[in-house]
Every structure is written in structure tokens, then in C-alpha cells.
């Protein structure tokens, strides 16, 4: 009698163990995949993207324009302003490999002329983002964040949106804790 009782207990424990393992595997397999897309000319937004990557483990995609911008700052600002005024869509060098695999996409950029660089509009218009979760982030010299984030919303109107994060480019190296707080607040990490 004792033996049967012991066997029954062992069997129940074994079934429970297998059930929990199976549930775990399923959770891992259905876990959503995240991509960090960013454009950065002088490295500030890239540093912010790196903080996000380190905290989330997400894949990264760096946007590069087919035509390089001039190194000369005044020349660059003129071109960037003309692109904004004429709503130019600068071509992007490479495409994201199978964007369908991603449920959430971070979109990062520096503020140019009070909004996003036009190449971000090229990116957002190039893919079907319907149903995906879009999370913007940016660096800036002193402002223009709100308009930048509004543009992201407009250019991905069929997506869901989470609250973005922004900071001055000069503060990016020491921003890791703030980035972590933000990611927790928007429930991207625990
Ligand atoms: C063409 C151009 C326009 C800019 N316009 C603004 C602006 O309107 N407002 C602002 O706060 N910073 C502006 N900046 C500063 C950048 O947003 C800031 O330096 C940013 O951190 C650069 O990021 P990156 O290193 O990733 O390129 C501008 C910079 C450039 C090159």
C-alpha cells in the first residue's frame, strides 16, 4: 500500500515537472521580439540606442543614408533645413531583414530643425507597421522633442505607441539609470 502511495506521488511530481517545463518553453517561444532602429550622425543617439540594447537585448538596425551628409556643420544644417522644407525622403542604404518578426520597434534619432531628420520619415513610410508597438527616443541640443515624437506618431498611425524618451546629447553617457527607469515604466523590462 505504502509503495503504491509513493509511486502515485512520484508520478504526480513527474507530470507536474513536465507540465511546468512545457509551459516555460512555450513562453520563451512566443516571447515578443524587439528591434532598435536609429539614425545618428555624431554618436549621441547611438549611445542612447546602446543603453536600450544593453537593457533589452533587442536587435539593432542603424540607418545610413545612401548620400552622405557633408562634414561641414553649417553646410549640413542648410541641407537638413532644405530637406525638411521640401519634405525630402533621403534614400536608406539597407533594409531591415524580415520586419514581420518584430512586435516592438524603438525608433531613435537626433532632433534636426525642431523635428526628426527626414530620413526617419523615409524609414517609417517604407514598412507596414500596423499593429506593431512603436517607441520613440531622441537626443537633442535643447528642444524640438515633442514635434519629433508627434511626427513619429503621424508616420506610423496604424501602430500602437508607447511613451518616448529624450535627453540632451551631452548627457547621454550617464543616462543608463534613467533609461532603465523609463523602460520599466513603459513595461518593456521588469
Ligand atoms: C542639422 C542639425 C539640426 C539640429 N537641430 C536641432 C534642433 O532643432 N534642436 C535641438 O535641440 N538640437 C538640434 N541639433 C542638435 C542635435 O539634435 C544633437 O546634437 C543630437 O544629440 C545629435 O545626435 P547624434 O550625435 O546622434 O547625431 C541639430 C543638429 C544638426 C546636425
What's the 140 CA to ligand 1 centre distance in angstroms?
5
Burial class (CB in 10 A: 0-12, 13-18, 19+), 186: middle
User: Which tens digits make up the pLDDT trace of 97-115?
Assistant: 999 999 999 999 999 999 9
- pLDDT digit string, tens, across residues 148-187: 999 999 999 999 999 999 999 999 999 999 999 999 999 9
Architecture (CATH level 2) of domain 31-185: 3-Layer(aba) Sandwich (3.40)
Q: Tell me: the pLDDT tens digits for 129-142?
A: 999 999 999 999 99
Ligand 1: which atom is nearest the Cα of residue 109?
26
Look up the pTM and report it: 0.87
Burial degree of 125 (CB within 10 A; 0-12, 13-18, 19+): exposed
Name the residue with the closest Cα to ligand 1, atom 6: 112
Domain extent listing, the chain: 31-185
Strands (E), 112-156: 133-140
pLDDT surpasses 50 at 27: no
Amino acid at each position: 500500500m505504502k509503495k503504491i502511495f509513493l509511486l502515485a506521488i512520484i508520478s504526480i511530481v513527474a507530470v507536474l515537472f513536465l507540465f511546468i517545463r512545457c509551459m516555460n518553453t512555450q513562453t520563451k517561444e512566443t516571447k515578443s521580439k524587439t528591434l532598435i532602429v536609429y539614425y545618428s550622425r555624431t554618436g549621441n543617439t547611438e549611445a542612447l540606442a546602446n543603453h536600450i540594447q544593453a537593457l533589452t537585448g533587442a536587435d539593432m538596425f542603424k540607418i545610413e543614408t545612401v548620400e552622405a551628409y557633408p562634414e561641414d556643420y553649417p553646410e549640413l544644417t542648410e541641407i537638413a533645413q532644405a530637406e525638411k522644407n521640401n519634405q525630402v525622403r533621403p534614400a536608406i542604404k539597407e533594409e531591415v531583414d524580415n520586419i514581420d518578426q518584430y512586435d516592438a520597434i524603438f525608433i531613435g534619432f537626433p532632433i534636426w530643425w525642431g523635428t526628426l531628420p527626414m530620413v526617419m520619415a523615409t524609414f517609417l513610410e517604407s514598412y507596414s507597421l500596423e499593429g506593431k508597438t512603436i517607441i520613440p527616443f531622441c537626443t537633442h541640443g535643447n528642444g524640438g522633442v515633442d514635434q519629433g515624437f508627434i511626427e513619429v506618431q503621424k508616420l506610423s498611425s496604424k501602430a500602437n505607441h508607447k511613451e518616448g524618451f529624450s535627453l540632451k546629447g551631452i548627457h547621454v553617457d550617464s543616462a543608463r539609470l534613467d533609461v532603465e527607469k523609463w523602460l520599466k515604466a513603459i513595461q518593456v523590462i521588469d
